[in-house]
Structures are given as structure tokens and as C-alpha cells.
């Protein structure tokens, strides 16, 4: 990243601070009048021109002031911005917002997305825990009726996933119990991302030891586990908050934003990227999302855990000019509260 002088950084900070507050292009006179840099408007104008040449600012119209580019915002976030510490009252309100939630993972995750939406006045998002991020603990095969089996998979982190399977042959419960016992021995403490390989290995080793039905049951389990591992879900609250931002008032921009949220796979891919990169707060700005539909929004996210296992991420999606200095601590604190609640052994899936 290009090094900027102290004055360059002061002017960039002033422009971004004013732009976040107003959403309007910022001129040199505004910077001189509001931010006490003790230099003339002409000097500030020259610095702003230099910052524009370096790609940190741009001028939407010839007669207008300047607004930050994604590059300018990234420099501000990485090197200049100062966080606004959460007040004790804000911490208490966030904690209280979870107090009435039941000891249920889904309820806690829904609550987290609402908390982030309410406190940040943008869209709150939560990526549902990925089974592949933890280890196998237990599997149960339950006959519901003829040719219909419920497969219940429990991870070591305590999360429960279940899948209803239609099977071409009827299997009695005592047979399913036998298969469950074998699978629990075969898969004990296996990372769930490795289950497919372990099942295939078991099928190769044991195909001569068990009848064809058992072999089909292993195939069935492989199919169920694979589809469960590929599952992703995201909870989104406060989409309408985005539309209250003036930059999304134009019909075409509004259409793009709503289309992006309608296709949840884009949001899931974006959240997946932040989960894989770091264990701390991550910010993805506009063009960094690699999606044209998401090019005018940004994401602030933080992972949540159960014990040492990273399960998913919580975050806030909003315009590029979000108040990051306030939103980042809210996201980080909410992730910490959620992680603490998930430590409770009574919280289940």
C-alpha cells in the first residue's frame, strides 16, 4: 500500500468521516471548516487532488467534492480508523436481547441476526454452522415407516443435523440399530469433512463381510452425510434497513441489492470467504466481494465458536459508507456473546 504523509492521512480521514455522516461529496472548504487541520483550503484542495491521483478519492462530477474509493476506504480501515468502544449500556442491551432466547441453536442464531440488524440499522446476517467444521460424535438411523428413514447426525460440538431419506427397500429397526452401531465405531471422532472418504474405505474393506443391504446402507449414509456437509443456510434480518440508505434510493440500485439478497448463495459465498481467512473481524468492501451484485455494499463479520471449533460467522451488510468504527465493536461483541451462549451444554441443534 502506498505510504501517505500524516497530512495526507488527516485529509483522507476527514473526507471519509464527513462522507460517512452525510453521504455527500466532500469539498476542501468543508474539511477546512469542520476538521481543524490548521491549513488553508487551497492546501487541502491540493492534497485531495494528490489523493485522487493515487486512487484514494474520486470526483463524481467536475464541480463536486470528492468521495472515497474502495482503496481509500481500505486504507482508512487498516491504518487510520479509531474504534468507538461500546458503552456499558450498549453491552447490557445486547446481552439482554439474548436473555429470552431458548436453549436452541437456531433460535440463538435468529436472535443474533435480529440484534445486529436492530443495533446497526443495516442488514444482520448469520451463517448457519457448517457440519464440516467439527467432528463426528454419533449417528442414529430411525425407521419412521416403510421405506422412510430418519438419519440423525450429532457432531462433537453438540450440533444436531437430521435428514429424511426415502429408501427403495424396507429395513426393520433392529437392522438399522446394527448398522448404526457399526457406523458409530467406523466414524468415531472422524473430522466430518473426512467422513465421505472413511465410508468409502469401509465399503471397500467390508463389502465381502456384509450382505448387499448393508452395503446399500453405507451408500445411503454416504449420500446423507455428503448432502448435509454441503448444506449452508444464512439468516438475514433487516433487508429493508438497507433501502433507507440514500445511496440505494435509485430504483436500479435498489433492484440490484434486493436481487443479491434473493439469491442467498452469493451471501453464503461471501460469508464463507471471511470464515476461511481469519479468526478475527473481517471487512469486505464492494469490489472485493468479486460479485457485481454486491459491488455497492460492504460486509463486517466475525466468527462465532463452540469451544475451540469455529462454527460460522455473524455480520452486518450495509452501504460502503457504514459507520465502521461503531459497527465493528457491535459485531465483535455479538459474536462473543453468541459463542459464550453456545458453550452451554444444554444448547442443542
Q: Would the pLDDT of 277 be above 70? A: no
- Of 3-7, 108-112, 160-164, 222-226, least confident by mean pLDDT is 222-226
Q: What's the CA gap between 208 and 203, in Å, rounded? A: 9
Q: Please tell me the predicted confidence (pLDDT) of residue 38.
A: 86
Q: What is the mean pLDDT of the chain?
A: 86
Q: What's the CA gap between 76 and 11, in Å, rounded? A: 11
- Of 25-29, 97-101, 313-317, least confident by mean pLDDT is 97-101
The half-sphere exposure of 67 on its side-chain side, counting CA atoms within 13 A, is: 16
Q: Which long-range contacts (CB under 8 A, 24 or more apart) does 178-183 make?
A: 179/141, 179/214, 179/217, 179/221, 180/139, 180/140, 180/141, 183/139, 183/141, 183/218, 183/221
Q: What's the CA gap between 57 and 312, in Å, rounded? A: 34
Q: Please tell me the predicted confidence (pLDDT) of residue 348.
A: 58
Query: Domains of the chain (ranges plus CATH)?
Result: 6-80 (1.10.10.10), 88-130+232-342 (3.30.450.40), 132-230 (3.30.390.60)
Confidence of residue 276 (pLDDT cuts 50, 70, 90): low
Q: Would the pLDDT of 1 be above 80? A: no
Give 255's contacts (C-beta < 8 A, 6+ positions apart): none
- Of 78-82, 141-145, 227-231, 235-239, least confident by mean pLDDT is 227-231
Q: Please tell me the predicted confidence (pLDDT) of residue 217.
A: 65
Per residue in 180-218, pLDDT (tens digit) is 888 888 888 888 778 777 777 766 766 555 555 566 666
Q: Please tell me the predicted confidence (pLDDT) of residue 227.
A: 67
The residue among 281, 293, 294 whose CA lies nearest residue 320 is: 294
More confident: 97 or 155: 97
What SS3 state is found at 314? strand
Amino acid at each position: 500500500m502506498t505510504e501517505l504523509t500524516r497530512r495526507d492521512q488527516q485529509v483522507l480521514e476527514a473526507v471519509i468521516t464527513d462522507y460517512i455522516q452525510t453521504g455527500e461529496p466532500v469539498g476542501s472548504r468543508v474539511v477546512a471548516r469542520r476538521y481543524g487541520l490548521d491549513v488553508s483550503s487551497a492546501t487541502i484542495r491540493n492534497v485531495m487532488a494528490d489523493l485522487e491521483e493515487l486512487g484514494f478519492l474520486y470526483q463524481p462530477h467536475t464541480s463536486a467534492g470528492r468521495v472515497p474509493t474502495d482503496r481509500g476506504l481500505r486504507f482508512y480501515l487498516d491504518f487510520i480508523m479509531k474504534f468507538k468502544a461500546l458503552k456499558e449500556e450498549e453491552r447490557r442491551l445486547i446481552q439482554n436481547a439474548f436473555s429470552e432466547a431458548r436453549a436452541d441453536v437456531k433460535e440463538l442464531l435468529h436472535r443474533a441476526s435480529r440484534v445486529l440488524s436492530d443495533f446497526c440499522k443495516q442488514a444482520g446476517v448469520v451463517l448457519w454452522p457448517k457440519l464440516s467444521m467439527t467432528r463426528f460424535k454419533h449417528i442414529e438411523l430411525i425407521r419412521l415407516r416403510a421405506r422412510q428413514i430418519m438419519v440423525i447426525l450429532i457432531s462433537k460440538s453438540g450440533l444436531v443435523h437430521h435428514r429424511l431419506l426415502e429408501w427403495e427397500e424396507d429395513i426393520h429397526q433392529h437392522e438399522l440399530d446394527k448398522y448404526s452401531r457399526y457406523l458409530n465405531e467406523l466414524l468415531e471422532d472422524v473430522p466430518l469433512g473426512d467422513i465421505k472418504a472413511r465410508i468409502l474405505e469401509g465399503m471397500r474393506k467390508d463389502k465381502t463381510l456384509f450382505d448387499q443391504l448393508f452395503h446399500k446402507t453405507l451408500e445411503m449414509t454416504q449420500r446423507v452425510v455428503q448432502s448435509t456437509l454441503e448444506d449452508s443456510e444464512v439468516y438475514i434480518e433487516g433487508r429493508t434497513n438497507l433501502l433507507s440508505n440514500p445511496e440505494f434510493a435509485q430504483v436500479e440500485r435498489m433492484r440490484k441489492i434486493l436481487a443479491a439478497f434473493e439469491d442467498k448463495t452469493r451471501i453464503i459465498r461471501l460469508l464463507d470467504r471471511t470464515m476461511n481467512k481469519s479468526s478475527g473481524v473481517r471487512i469486505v468492501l464492494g469490489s472485493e466481494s468479486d460479485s457485481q451484485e454486491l459491488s455497492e455494499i460492504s460486509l463486517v463479520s466475525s466468527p462465532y465458536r463452540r469451544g475451540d471449533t469455529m462454527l460460522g460467522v455473524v455480520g452486518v451488510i450495509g452501504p460502503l459508507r457504514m459507520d465502521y468504527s461503531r459497527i465493528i465493536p457491535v459485531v465483535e461483541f455479538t459474536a462473543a456473546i453468541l459463542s459464550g451462549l453456545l458453550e452451554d451444554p444444554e444448547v442443542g441443534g
